A = this chain, B = another copy of it.
Amino acid sequence: MAHDKEPFPAHLNSRWLHYFSQALDAGSIRTASDRLDVEPSVISRQIRQLEQALGVTLVERHGRGVRATEAGGILLDFYRERDVAEQTLLGQLAELDGLQRGHISLAISEGYSDRLMSGVMNDFCARHPQLTVEMNLANVNDVVRQVYEGQAHIGIAYAPRLTPGIESVVSVHQPLCAIVHPGHPLTRLPQPLALDATLEWPLGLVGHGYGIRQLIDAAAIISKRHFHASLVSNSLATLKQYVSSGDGVTFIGRVALLHELRRGQLVALEIDHPVFQEAEAHVIVRRQRPLSPAAKQLLREIVDLWPFGERERVDW
């Protein structure tokens, strides 16, 4: 290139503008240098650099102090506006730090939303009205995927596939239970139920690839049994309807159908099998993802006020 310097550079050095504005505010370079506690030569040089970078004369070096030229006035106005915009930005960031602003996205497994809502979210949202909280209901796999891909900050899932990249913040034992309608013959057997007893009834199961299904498959392998699914669905609602309208059996954690249990529409029977007992619900986040202050706070409250049973393990 023939010229190293473009007539107008891509960016204005903030230091240049600072000294420039200070000098013009003070009226002279020397008084500005006194205020800023720097040498006058520094300010003089920086202003000159700014002028050279812009290719325009900005100040009149007027024996008694400095005054802005027309271009200097324009630049000064620009800098003023830019400064208030910057202050506004800093305010926004401060608000974000003080939970005044922000957006939190939750991905929640089926069955956890209402407990979460009544236990934590109502209070949290009331205390932070400026915050936008998005609750995205999804099946277990989607919860994990959304958290992994960053679409959701926090995920709540029952028996999620804990891949690397997904970090479990808190988990709780929530045994996988056999779900049947209240009048089902299984309810009359001694509790906890033997696994084999359930296999005599038609099964409704979630599809392969789901955490629950993996547990069930694992139990089948360990117990050397074969589980034949009469119905496969990725919707818990479908499975609930399935068992409530017939003598079928499905396996779901208790918290996923607290409503139905409380109303007596369904009953949950614990199963005497280690794999089923080991089932856990997890609050998950993306590994090493820096959460926004708001998300961090909500996560903290979810863990503290954990509404899904006794806390089992907390990585905090």
Residue ranges of A at the interface with B (Cβ–Cβ < 8 Å): 7-8, 11-15, 18, 54-57, 60-62, 67, 69-71, 74-75, 78, 81-82, 85-86, 89-90, 92-94, 96-97, 102-103, 150, 288-290, 292, 294
B75, A93: Cβ atoms closer than 8 Å: yes
The reply to whether B93 and A60 form a contact with Cβ atoms under 8 Å apart is no
Specify which of A15, A90, A150, A288 lies most central, judged by the most chain B CB atoms within 10 Å of its CB: A90
Q: Which of B70, B71, B78, B94 contacts A7 (CB 8 A)?
A: B94
Those 7 A-B pairs whose CB atoms lie nearest each other, nearest first: A57-B290, A70-B292, A8-B90, A78-B89, A14-B14, A11-B14, A13-B14
Selected contact of A60 from candidates B18, B78, B290, CB within 8 Å: B290
Other 8 A-B pairs with CB < 8 A, given A62-B150, A78-B89: A7-B94, A8-B94, A54-B93, A60-B150, A67-B150, A69-B292, A71-B292, A82-B86
Among B60, B92, B288, the residue within 8 A (CB) of A74 is B92
CA gap between A90 and B81 in the complex, in Å: 15
- Interface pairs (14), CB distance under 8 Å: A12-B86, A54-B93, A60-B288, A60-B290, A62-B288, A70-B102, A70-B292, A71-B93, A71-B96, A74-B89, A74-B92, A75-B89, A78-B86, A82-B82
Q: Do A289 and B60 touch (CB < 8 A)? A: yes
- Kindly provide the distance from the CB of A4 to the nearest chain B CB, expressed in whole angstroms: 15
Residue among A56, A57, A61, A96 facing the most chain B CB atoms (10 A cut-off):
A56
Taking the closest CB of chain B, its distance from the CB of A89, in whole angstroms, is 5
Query: Are A11's CB and B7's CB within 8 A?
Result: no
Are B85 and A81 interface neighbours, CB within 8 A?
yes
* A11→B90 CA distance, assembly (Å): 10
CB distance from A50 to the nearest CB of B (A): 12
CB pair B56–A97 under 8 Å, yes or no, is: yes
- Write the nearest CB–CB distance from A84 to chain B, whole angstroms: 12
What's the least CB distance linking A204 to chain B, in Å? 39
8 Å CB contact of A288 from B7, B55, B61:
B61
| Interchain CA distance A70-B101 in the complex, whole Å | 10
B-chain residues with CB within 8 Å of residue A97 when the two chains form the complex: 55-56
